Structures are given as structure tokens and as C-alpha cells.
């Protein structure tokens, strides 16, 4: 029987809280974390973002790092989330503990800070020279927790975190690891803020996922990690939920845009159901990607319609709470899905007023309680990378 | 029984010509570019114009590896890249700084994400299957190989996987390596790299793709036996770690006919290789390759490519040899690599 892979710990930091409880409280009270940038030193002061209002210095202090540390902001956020996940799962870190982290731009925040001085040949901050490599950020986190075994990074833009969770679950299933910490981290950077701004897909208001009049996304930042353990390692431990299935497909349509009919998204969801050995009717709730861009939400809605027909389960996007935290999004939403399974609650899609004419899909707009056994979580990214995960309640 | 995995297609774009044995290209620099093939044979001119070198090299070598294996649409495309599309990253970053975040064109941002290469290969082939990109420094290609192995063994549905590693140079970010001691402080002749006793190395770029399959054909290069990644290893433990990996693959050190090592002339970290050369693989034929193609995150693709060639042709190019040991047979090849003491990897191949 497919029992899936057990999750025994989770940790999160996002614009709506510094740990799982704080995130849950914000989700319960519909409190959005969207604000204007204060920590990120950008000229775009009027673009709303999901920013974590803690400086790098305070984050470093709370991790008790030395002053001359070389942690990028993504490594700082990642370490805070991993710490919480480890405290919950109480695993011993040894050679058979792996770490797989998703990140889209890694430590480019430090590259943009020091680019000019490096170009001029100044070496004062040369400990950040390699920060542009995504693996650099991952390695800093691994180092901090004494993880010396399998360490890897996935960078598939906005589906990175979900792909890291999938890879970890597969490695446990294949017997390659006994336990693995999986998830993603990305911080706000001028690079990504200006990148999305140049694509003209940032909203000047709070984002309105799945709404007819949605006009773009809010960029966010955050990190979230899960601890996955092999069955024989559990020994009566509390299991927060199980990763039942996963699917990965490529839209192969356009470098940044999603196809009209959501082919990649459809294939990823379909594959996840197949691996889980579940029919579509078993899905109780979808935590949608729902970035609130015209393109994504239509493409995802069509894919959902194609897969579920007239029986679309309850669904919502939590992007209006956190902003779109890129590589971390799939990991943040994995934590939200696990909270949903444990509390038997679905969190609202904020700022929704009118269904889009093409699909008429209505997300849930207020907190709802329901018997939840299986939750589907979607993450789609540039490069056509689409990933879907299915989480199950432990006893489901 | 666990199915076997074969390498049925290989390709290499590097700073060397493919006939490097007779005519090795010599450079007197610490940074030197890859030799470009005729990209027009593989990519339409319109598309070619917009592409950075990483994308051009990636698509071209992916197509060569697929053609060799006679695969049109692989069941998965798995890419490793340490630094991804560095040229577009650098361009967007510079514009952003120079223009004070105003009036930026999105083109270079769009092509800057690390998964652009894998995404563009999928787009070019119209391949909607599994697609993932790994970016773990010098273990990026190896991460991709591990995923490829699992893809082929998890179900019997997947028959062929395209897997490869790509990294490109960029004008400024690559040059930053001189500031933290990753490069030699003075220009050296690449072919003399392994005689160096100083810190730093030389760097370049390239792309290596492989078609892995559960089906053997009469052109198969090698059997892919396994890959292992370990983030950090204490210097004195390296022999033990290699033995653990060999044991797991039911083989011992004496059965390894050739070991391909990542010596890069950096006297701070080459001790990992030298320790193996003097102990576990003292009597084994030892090869090295970074004096030919430089060191960069996915350069082990060149080692894997060379190993495939050796196993198929049954001969070893003398320019690769570190010692005079002659292997009795050419059956098992082990590849070991690390960079600055981190991201250690082992790949094991056997003759078909």
C-alpha cells in the first residue's frame, strides 16, 4: 500500500510570521503580509511586496552568527525555518541526513550589493563572491546545522521548493536517505523585483488571485522546510502528514508564459494523482499556485477544469497573504497544506470579488472547515516548469 | 532484478578540440572560452541571435547526445549548472545598477533563471516530460545524474533520460574569481597546470550531455553503475569514503581499472586526489583532465565523456595520464571530483 512519505517536522518564515504558529494565526485572521519595501533598498518604494520586516543583522543575531558571516539573506531565512523544522522533528543529523533546497536567485542580493566593488577589484567583502551560485546559499545552511552528507540545490524558478520536496520524497522511497530536510528559500532582491517589474506583471495593489480583474502579482520572500523520514525511522513519532504523490511536467510553450490550456499544469496534477493512486474525486482542497497574473491564473484554472470537470474541489491561493516568494512558494504552501490537514481548515483567497469569465471558477474567500484527507498543491515557474504535490493526512 | 542503465549518447563542448590527443589546444590565461561548434546546424538563426552561450551550448550538445542514441523525445530532461545563465544575469544586474532600476528591458531577466537551459531544451524539442535543474556548485551534474538514475529505476515506464551539465563564462562575474583566490595569480600555460604548486586554478566553460537508457544497443558506450554526492569530507577520510561507495556498488578498489581525478593544480585542495593516488589507487591507472579544459562547476561532464570514450574505444589518450600504470583490462572506471574541499562526487561506470 502507498502510505506516502512521512513529514515529521516543519518550519517557516514569511511575511505573515516567523514560525508555524504565527503563520497560522495570520491565516486564521485573514491578515495579509503585503506592505511596501522597507528592508529592501530599492527605488521602487510604491510597489507592494510581502517583506519580512526583520533586518539581516537581527536575523544573524538570532542565529548567533559571527559578525563576519557570509550568509546571504536567503541563507538567513532558510536557517530560521530549518531550525524550527529540526526542533519539531528532533532528528539527529548524521551522514544519512540529506538536505535539498530550492532557490531561484540564491544569494544574488549580496552580488547586487557588492557588484560594483568587485568590478573595481576591491576584496574587502570577497567572502560574498560566490553568493551568486545558488549552491552557496544551500551550503551555508547545511554548514550551520552540521549537515555533511547529501546536499543539493534545485533551481527551477518558482517551482524549485516543490521540486526539492519531491526529490526528497523520492530519495526516501528509493532508500537513498533515511531522513532529509527539504524546502526552499528566496529573499526579496532588486534583481527579481526589477525583473518582474520589467515584465510588467507586478500589481500596484494587493494581488487578486483568480479574480476577473486581477492585474499582477506581489513579490514576496520567505523560507520553509519539511523534515521527511523513512518509515523505519519513525518509531512512534508524530507524523504531521504524508507526501502521497508528485508530478512534474514541462509546459514546453514559452520561456516565461504559460500555455492557454495549461498543458504543463494539467500533466503535473495528473501525474501526481497517478503516483498517489488516487482519483481526482479524492482531492478535498487545492492550494493553487494562483499568482494573480492574467496568464497564470487563466492557464491554471483551465488545467483545473480539464482535470476535475464540473467537480472542482475547494481551492484558494494564499499568495495575497505572503506575496509570491518564488522558489520558496511551493515550500511555504506545503506548510500551509500540512496546517490545513492538521486543523481541518482551508484558508481564504483574499481580494477575490468576481470569477473570471473564461472558467467561472470560484475560490473559497473565507476560512472554511471541512473533512480534509488529501490536498493538492501547485507550483509553476518560468522555463515551463510545473510541479504538483499531494499531501495526505497521516491516517487517511 | 534492478534494471541496468546504459549511456547511449554523449556530447562535449569544451575549450578543447575533440582530437585533443594529437592537437591539444594550449592557452596562456587563467580564463579561456569553449570552442563553439557550428550552432546553426542545430538551432534556427532567428532563435540563435537571442541566446546566450550557455543556452546555445546546452541545446546543441543535448541534440548531439539524443541523436547518437536515436532518441527524439526523452522521458526526462535533467540539467546541472553551477551558475546557470551567468551572461544574462550579469547583463540584467549591470543595467539595473547603471540605470538605477529604471527603464529595464526584461529580455536578459527572462533568460537569467538557472532553469533556462533545461526549459529551452524542452521548448526546442517540444518535450513536456519531467524537467528539473540542479545548481549545487561542483555537484550540479552529479545531482542531475542521481535524479536520472532514480527516474529510470522508479518505474519501468521511463526508458530514456537526457542529462547534462552546462556552465558559461561571463565578462565580470567570472573575473571575480580572481579576487578570492580561485584563480592563479599569474597567467600559466594550461597544459602545465598539474605541475603547479600554488593556490588557485584556471577556469573555462562547456556543456556535456548524455542519453541514459535502460535499453542497451550495439552503440552503447558504458553501463552507468552509480553516483554519490557528499558535501564535505575530512581530508584524512577520503580513502574510507571512496571505499564505502565502492562497497555499496559491490566492487572493490582493486577492480577499478582507471580512476579519473579532478586535480586542478590548486595546492590547497589537491591533497584529496593525491591521498587517493598514494593510497587506495596507488597501482591503478590515474587520469586527470582539468589541464585541458579548466575547472568549472560542471567540468566533470568532460571526465564522464572521456570515460565513455575510453570504455568504448578501449584506449586511453596519453595526455590524460598521471602515472605509468597500465590497466590489465578496461572494465571499471571511477570518477572523483570536488571543488575547494566541498561538493565531493563519485561516478562509477563499467564497460558494456
pLDDT tens sequence across A140-188: 999 999 999 999 999 999 999 999 999 999 999 999 999 999 999 999 9
Whether residues A207 and A280 fall in one domain: no
Closest Cα in chain A to B113? A157
| Residue A242 sits at the chain B interface (C-beta within 8 Å) | no
Phi, psi (degrees; rounded to nearest 5) at A275: -60, -40
Residue A239 lies in a domain: no
- The SS3 assignment for B35 reads coil
Contact A155 B135 (CB under 8 A): yes
Strand locations in B122-257 (E): 130-134, 160-167, 206-213, 222-232
Q: Which residues are within 8 A (CB) of A90 and not within 5 positions of it... i.e. 6 or more apart?
A: A9, A237
| Residue B67 sits at the chain A interface (C-beta within 8 Å) | no
* Of B262, B257, B265, residue with least CA distance to B281: B257
Q: Residue A387 to residues A187, A251, A311, A377, B54: CA-CA distances in angstroms?
A: 21, 11, 22, 8, 25
CATH number of the domain to which A185 belongs: 3.40.47.10
| Residue A163 sits at the chain B interface (C-beta within 8 Å) | yes
Mean pLDDT score, A226-249: 97
Whether residues A255 and A175 fall in one domain: no
Q: Residue A285 to residues A31, A288, B28, B34, B221: CA-CA distances in angstroms?
A: 21, 9, 61, 50, 48
Phi, psi (degrees; rounded to nearest 5) at A382: -50, 160
B contacts of A135 (beta carbons < 8 Å): 82, 135-137, 139-140, 343
Phi, psi (degrees; rounded to nearest 5) at B197: -130, 70
Range of the domain at A295: 245-392
**What is the rounded distance in angstroms from the CA atom of residue A370 to the CA atom of residue A364?**
12
As a whole number, the mean pLDDT across chain A is 97
- Please pick, among A144, A207, A324, A386, the residue that the annotation labels catalytic: A324
Whether residues A261 and A312 fall in one domain: yes
Whether residues A211 and A269 fall in one domain: no
Grid cell for residue A27: 491565516
* In the predicted structure, residue A2 carries a pLDDT above the cut 80: no
Whether residues A182 and A160 fall in one domain: yes
Contact B110 A256 (CB under 8 A): yes
Q: Give how far A24 is from chain B: nearest CA, Å.
A: 31
**What is the rounded distance in angstroms from the CA atom of residue B33 to the CA atom of residue A262?**
39
**What is the rounded distance in angstroms from the CA atom of residue A279 to the CA atom of residue A273?**
6
Report pLDDT for B278: 98
Q: Which residues are within 8 A (CB) of A366 and not within 5 positions of it... i.e. 6 or more apart?
A: A30, A348
Q: Total structural domains in chain A?
A: 2
Question: Last residue of a domain, which of A183, A208, A234?
Answer: A234
Phi, psi (degrees; rounded to nearest 5) at A242: -130, 145
Report pLDDT for A1: 60
Residue A365 lies in a domain: yes
Q: Greatest CA separation found in chain B?
A: 65
pLDDT tens sequence across B152-211: 999 888 899 999 999 999 999 999 999 999 999 999 999 999 999 999 999 999 999 999
| Residue A2 sits at the chain B interface (C-beta within 8 Å) | no
Whether residues A258 and A142 fall in one domain: no
Q: Give how far B314 is from chain A: nearest CA, Å.
A: 33
pLDDT tens sequence across A297-348: 999 999 999 999 999 999 999 999 999 999 999 999 999 999 999 999 999 9
* In the predicted structure, residue A367 carries a pLDDT above the cut 80: yes
Mean pLDDT score, A373-384: 95
- The SS3 assignment for B325 reads coil
Q: Is A158 a catalytic residue?
A: yes
* Of B223, B212, B214, residue with least CA distance to B312: B223
| Residue B25 sits at the chain A interface (C-beta within 8 Å) | no
* In the predicted structure, residue B1 carries a pLDDT above the cut 80: no
Q: Is A324 a catalytic residue?
A: yes
Question: Last residue of a domain, which of A234, A255, A290?
Answer: A234
Residue A96 lies in a domain: yes
Domains within chain B, CATH numbers bracketed: 5-213 (3.40.47.10), 222-350 (3.40.47.10)
**What is the rounded distance in angstroms from the CA atom of residue B96 to the CA atom of residue B90?**
10
Question: Last residue of a domain, which of A187, A207, A234?
Answer: A234
Whether residues A124 and A219 fall in one domain: yes
Number of other CB atoms surrounding residue A389 within 10 Å: 31
Q: What does the angle CA B48 – CA B93 – CA A36 come to, to the nearest 5 degrees?
A: 125
Q: A interface mutation test: which of B54, B231, B340 has the most A CBs within 10 A?
A: B231
Closest CB to A152 among B112, B134, B233: B134
* Of B133, B143, B345, residue with least CA distance to A106: B133
Closest CB to A170 among B110, B143, B154: B154
Contact B96 A264 (CB under 8 A): no
- The SS3 assignment for B91 reads helix
Q: Is A386 a catalytic residue?
A: no
Q: Residue A9 to residues A21, A163, A179: CA-CA distances in angstroms?
A: 13, 18, 11
Whether residues A215 and A67 fall in one domain: yes
Cβ B224 vs Cβ B215: under 8 Å: no
Give the burial string for B21-35 (b: 16+ CB within 10 Å, else e).
Answer: eeeeeebebbbbbbe
Q: Which residues are within 8 A (CB) of A175 and not within 5 positions of it... i.e. 6 or more apart?
A: A230
Report pLDDT for B22: 82
Whether residues A249 and A223 fall in one domain: no
Report pLDDT for B19: 82
- Please pick, among A114, A144, A206, A289, the residue that the annotation labels catalytic: A289
Q: Give how far A25 is from chain B: nearest CA, Å.
A: 34
Whether residues A227 and A268 fall in one domain: no
Whether residues A200 and A104 fall in one domain: yes
* Of A33, A342, A314, A287, residue with least CA distance to A161: A287
Q: A interface mutation test: which of B105, B131, B146, B174 has the most A CBs within 10 A?
A: B131
Mean pLDDT score, A216-234: 97
Residue A240 lies in a domain: no
B contacts of A254 (beta carbons < 8 Å): 123
Q: Which residues are within 8 A (CB) of A171 and not within 5 positions of it... i.e. 6 or more apart?
A: A98, A100, A150, A177, A180, B150
SS (H, E, C) chain A: CCCCEEEEEEEEEECCECCHHHHHHHHHCCCCCCECCCCCCCCCCCCCEECCCCCHHHHHHHCCCCCCCCCCHHHHHHHHHHHHHHHHHCCCCCCCEEEEEECCCCCHHHHHHHHHHHHCCCCCCHHHHHHHCHHHHHHHHHHHCCCCCCEEEECCHHHHHHHHHHHHHHHHHCCCCCEEEEEEEECCCHHHHHHHHHCCCECCCCCCCCECCCCCECEECEEEEEEEECHHHHCCCCCCEEEEEEEEEECCCCCCCCCCCCHHHHHHHHHHHHHHCCCHHHCCEEECCCCCCHHHHHHHHHHHHHHHCCCCCEEECCHHHHCECHHHHHHHHHHHHHHHHHHCEECCCCCCCCECCCCCCCCCCCCEECCCCEEEEEEECHHHEEEEEEEECCCC
- Please pick, among A158, A187, A207, A386, the residue that the annotation labels catalytic: A158
Q: What is the DSSP string of B110-121?
A: HTTSTTHHHHHH
**What is the rounded distance in angstroms from the CA atom of residue A137 to the CA atom of residue A134?**
6
How many residues would you count in chain B? 352
* In the predicted structure, residue A396 carries a pLDDT above the cut 70: no
Whether residues A331 and A229 fall in one domain: no
Q: Give how far A55 is from chain B: nearest CA, Å.
A: 22
Query: What ipTM did this prediction achieve?
Result: 0.98
User: How many CA atoms lie within 13 Å of A184's alpha carbon, on the beta-carbon side?
Assistant: 34
Residue A10 lies in a domain: yes
Q: Alpha helices of chain B — where are they, by DSSP H?
A: 45-50, 53-69, 86-98, 107-110, 116-125, 140-154, 238-248, 271-278, 290-293, 300-313
Closest CB to A142 among B97, B116, B231: B231
Amino acid at each position: 500500500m502507498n502510505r506516502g512519505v512521512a513529514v515529521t517536522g516543519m518550519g517557516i518564515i514569511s511575511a505573515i510570521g516567523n514560525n508555524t504558529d504565527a503563520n497560522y494565526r495570520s491565516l486564521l485572521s485573514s491578515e495579509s503580509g503585503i506592505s511596501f519595501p522597507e528592508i529592501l533598498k530599492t527605488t521602487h518604494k510604491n510597489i507592494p511586496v510581502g517583506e519580512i520586516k526583520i533586518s539581516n543583522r537581527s536575523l544573524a543575531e538570532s542565529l548567533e552568527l559571527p559578525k563576519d558571516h557570509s550568509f546571504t539573506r536567503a541563507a538567513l531565512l532558510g536557517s530560521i525555518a530549518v531550525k524550527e523544522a529540526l526542533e519539531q522533528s528532533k532528528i539527529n543529523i548524521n551522514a544519512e541526513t540529506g538536505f535539498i533546497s530550492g532557490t531561484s536567485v540564491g544569494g544574488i542580493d549580496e552580488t547586487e550589493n557588492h557588484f560594483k566593488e568587485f568590478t573595481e577589484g576591491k576584496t574587502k567583502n570577497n567572502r560574498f563572491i560566490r553568493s551568486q551560485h545558488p549552491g552557496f546559499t544551500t551550503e551555508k545552511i547545511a554548514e550551520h546545522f552540521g549537515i555533511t552528507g547529501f546536499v543539493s540545490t534545485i533551481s527551477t524558478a518558482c517551482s524549485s521548493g516543490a521540486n526539492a520536496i519531491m526529490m526528497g520524497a523520492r530519495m526516501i522511497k528509493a532508500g537513498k536517505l533515511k531522513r532529509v530536510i527539504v524546502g526552499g528559500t528566496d529573499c526579496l532582491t532588486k534583481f527579481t523585483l526589477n525583473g518582474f517589474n520589467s515584465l510588467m506583471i507586478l500589481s500596484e495593489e494587493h494581488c487578486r488571485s483568480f479574480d476577473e480583474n486581477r492585474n499582477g502579482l506581489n513579490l514576496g520572500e520567505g523560507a520553509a522546510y519539511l523534515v521527511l523520514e523513512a518509515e523505519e525511522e519513525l518509531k512512534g513519532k508524530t507524523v504531521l502528514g504524508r507526501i502521497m504523490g508528485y508530478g512534474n511536467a514541462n509546459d514546453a510553450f514559452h520561456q516565461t508564459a504559460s500555455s492557454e490550456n495549461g498543458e504543463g499544469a494539467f500533466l503535473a496534477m495528473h501525474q501526481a494523482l497517478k503516483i498517489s493512486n488516487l482519483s481526482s474525486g479524492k482531492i478535498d482542497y487545492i492550494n493553487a499556485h494562483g499568482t494573480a497574473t492574467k496568464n497564470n491564473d487563466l492557464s491554471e484554472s483551465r488545467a483545473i477544469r480539464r482535470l476535475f470537470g464540473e467537480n472542482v474541489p475547494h481551492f484558494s491561493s494564499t499568495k495575497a497573504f505572503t506575496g509570491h516568494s518564488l522558489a520558496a512558494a511551493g515550500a511555504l504552501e506545503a506548510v500551509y497544506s500540512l496546517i490545513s490537514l492538521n486543523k481541518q481548515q482551508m484558508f481564504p483567497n483574499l481580494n477575490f470579488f468576481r470569477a473570471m469569465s473564461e472558467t467561472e471558477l470560484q475560490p473559497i474567500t473565507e476560512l472554511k472547515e471541512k473533512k480534509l484527507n488529501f490536498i493538492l498543491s501547485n507550483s509553476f515557474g518560468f522555463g515551463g516548469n510545473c510541479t504538483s504535490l499531494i499531501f495526505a493526512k497521516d491516517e487517511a | 532484478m534492478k534494471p541496468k542503465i546504459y549511456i547511449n549518447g554523449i556530447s562535449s563542448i569544451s575549450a578543447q578540440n575533440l582530437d585533443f590527443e594529437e592537437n591539444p589546444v594550449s592557452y596562456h590565461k587563467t580564463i579561456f572560452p569553449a570552442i563553439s561548434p557550428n550552432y546553426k546546424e542545430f538551432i534556427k538563426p532567428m532563435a540563435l541571435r537571442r541566446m546566450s552561450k550557455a543556452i546555445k551550448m546546452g541545446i546543441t550538445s543535448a541534440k548531439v547526445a539524443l541523436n547518437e542514441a536515436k532518441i527524439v523525445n526523452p522521458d526526462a530532461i535533467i540539467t546541472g549548472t553551477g551558475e546557470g545563465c551567468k551572461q544574462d544575469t550579469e547583463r540584467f544586474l549591470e543595467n539595473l545598477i547603471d540605470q538605477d532600476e529604471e527603464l529595464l528591458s526584461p529580455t536578459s531577466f527572462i533568460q537569467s533563471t538557472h532553469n533556462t537551459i533545461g526549459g529551452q531544451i524542452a521548448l526546442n524539442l517540444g518535450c513536456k516530460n519531467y524537467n528539473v535543474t540542479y545548481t549545487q556548485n561542483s555537484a550540479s551534474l552529479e545531482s542531475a545524474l542521481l535524479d536520472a538514475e532514480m527516474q529510470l529505476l522508479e518505474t519501468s515506464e521511463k526508458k530514456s533520460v537526457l542529462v547534462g551539465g552546462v556552465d558559461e563564462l561571463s565578462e565580470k562575474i567570472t573575473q571575480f574569481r580572481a579576487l578570492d583566490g580561485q584563480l592563479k595569480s599569474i597567467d600559466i600555460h594550461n597544459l602545465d597546470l598539474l605541475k603547479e604548486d600554488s593556490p588557485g586554478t584556471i577556469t573555462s566553460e562547456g556543456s556535456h550531455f548524455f542519453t541514459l537508457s535502460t535499453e542497451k544497443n550495439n552503440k552503447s558506450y558504458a553501463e552507468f553503475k552509480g553516483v554519490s554526492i557528499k558535501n564535505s569530507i575530512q581530508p584524512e577520510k577520503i580513502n574510507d569514503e571512496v571505499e564505502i561507495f565502492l562497497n555499496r556498488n559491490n566492487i572493490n578498489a582493486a577492480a577499478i581499472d582507471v580512476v579519473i581525478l579532478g586535480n586542478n593544480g590548486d595546492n590547497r585542495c589537491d591533497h584529496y586526489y593525491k591521498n587517493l593516488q598514494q593510497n587506495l589507487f596507488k597501482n591503478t591507472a590515474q587520469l586527470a583532465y582539468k589541464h585541458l579544459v579548466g575547472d568549472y562547476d560542471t567540468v566533470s561532464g568532460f571526465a564522464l565523456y572521456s570515460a565513455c570514450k575510453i570504455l568504448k574505444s578501449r584506449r586511453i589518450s596519453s595526455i590524460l595520464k598521471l602515472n605509468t600504470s597500465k590497466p590489465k583490462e578496461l572494465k571499471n572506471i571511477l570518477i572523483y571530483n570536488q571543488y575547494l574541499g566541498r561538493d565531493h562526487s563519485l561516478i562509477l561506470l563499467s564497460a558494456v
